[in-house]
Amino acid sequence: MLVFITGASSGFGEAMAKKFVLEGHEVILLARRLEKLEKLQQELGSKCIKIIASDVMDIKNIKQALGDEISKIDVLINNAGLALGIESAEECDIKDWENMVTTNILGLIKITHLILPFMVEKQSGHIINIGSIAGSYPYYGGNVYGATKAFVKQFSLNLRADLVDKNIRVTNIEPGLCGGSEFSIVRFKGDEQKAKDLYKNTNPLMPQDIAESVYWCATLPAHININRLEIMPTTQASAGLKVHKKL
Ligand code: NDP
Ligand code: 8X3
């Protein structure tokens, strides 16, 4: 298979690249940081057929960089994404909200819009979106991040409706608390201690766990579509509604 992974310079994307290559598949990797991609490409060897240093929004650049390979992509993994901030909504920076909507929603739909016609043309393919439990369960400070992931979930389900007769699979992966990536460092704006504390004594999921799950979805017999896959560490659960009592 040829697998195109966005957000491959760290975390889940890097772990997925390693997993697919280890299992003998070819990958094309995209992220903004070229040095990180170059280092990973060196490690992966010839199965990493292309790296693309680009923002997910720069579709013209991405199309050009993909070249002829664009029609050969079997699996598109829309993984690039981020959370910024954990404040209550009224305290959030509008720029952070815009950035999350741009990357997690606009970037994801633009890449999908670019690749999908080629999958439809060959009547085969698999789009795997990296959503989040934040798209299903509200939590303090989740505000716009969770809303972007709710979009990703519903977009995935709606794609299924359009593609049901075109032999194209669509899966939304919905992980919960996951350490070992840059996610929380980005969310806490570089505060590594705060990021570390979040995972302390939680035995969180790790990027390799997500890579295994994605790989499983992508390699099931062709007639099986995993619509949504919600994954949490055993130390995390949905804990229901909150009621605020006035004193
Ligand atoms: P990381 O921060 O480690 O990885 C995010 C990746 O996305 C990086 O490779 C980053 O690379 C890339 N990226 C970010 N913005 C852009 C952009 N505008 N254009 C291109 N690439 C971009 O975090 P994770 O691996 O944890 O996160 C991966 C996905 O998983 C995200 O969508 C996240 O929301 C989701 N997720 C994470 C969870 C967690 O707890 N860790 C749980 C549930 C979902 P670069 O900076 O080089 O561009
Ligand atoms: C990341 C998981 O719980 O931090 O999407 O929102 S969570």
Tens of pLDDT, residue by residue over 158-183, are 999 999 999 999 999 999 999 999 99
Mutating to test ligand 1, I would choose from 16, 34, 35, 82 the residue with most ligand atoms within 8 A of its C-beta, which is 82
Residue 225 resides in a domain? yes
Q: Is 23 left (phi over 0), alpha (psi -120 to 50) or beta?
A: alpha
Q: Whose CA is nearest to atom 33 of ligand 1?
A: 81
Fill in the DSSP letter of residue 178.
B
Does residue 215 carry a catalytic annotation? no
Per-residue pLDDT band for 221 (boundaries 50, 70, 90) equals very high
Residues 130-152 have pLDDT tens digits of 999 999 999 999 999 999 999 99
Predicted local confidence at residue 30, as pLDDT: 99
Domain extent, residue 40, equals: 2-231
Of the listed 139, 140, 145, 215, which one is catalytic?
145
Residue 114 resides in a domain? yes
CA-CA distance, 227 to 213, in Å (whole number)?
A: 13
Nearest to 20 by CA among 45, 42, 46, 47: 47
Per-residue pLDDT band for 247 (boundaries 50, 70, 90) equals confident
Residues 91-113 have pLDDT tens digits of 999 999 999 999 999 999 999 99
Are 146 and 247 in contact by the 8 Å Cβ rule? The answer is: no
What's the distance, Cα to Cα, between the start and end of the chain in Å?
60
Residue 245 resides in a domain? no
Report residue 70: phi and psi, to 5°: -55, -35
Q: CA 234, 15, 151: angle at the middle one, nearest 5?
A: 70
Instruction: Give residue ranges with CB within 6 A of ligand 1.
Output: 6-13, 31-33, 36, 55-56, 79-82, 103, 107, 130, 132, 175, 177-178, 181-183, 186
Please give the tally of structural domains in the chain. 1
CA-CA distance, 179 to 195, in Å (whole number)?
A: 9
Predicted local confidence at residue 240, as pLDDT: 86
Instruction: Calculate how far, in angstroms, residue 208's C-alpha sits from the geometric centre of ligand 1.
Output: 14
Which CATH number does the domain housing residue 126 bear? 3.40.50.720
Predicted local confidence at residue 26, as pLDDT: 98
Mutating to test ligand 2, I would choose from 145, 199, 206, 231 the residue with most ligand atoms within 8 A of its C-beta, which is 145
Residues 38-88 have pLDDT tens digits of 999 999 999 999 999 999 999 999 999 999 999 999 999 999 999 999 999
Residue 237 resides in a domain? no
Predicted local confidence at residue 111, as pLDDT: 98
Predicted local confidence at residue 108, as pLDDT: 99
- Rounded average pLDDT over 205-214: 98
CA-CA distance, 202 to 187, in Å (whole number)?
A: 18
CA-CA distance, 130 to 143, in Å (whole number)?
A: 18
DSSP assignments along 75-101, one per residue: EEEE--------S-GGGS-HHHHHHHI
Contacts of 119 (CB under 8 A, 6+ apart): 73, 76, 125, 127, 166, 168
Residue 242 resides in a domain? no
Residue 236 resides in a domain? no
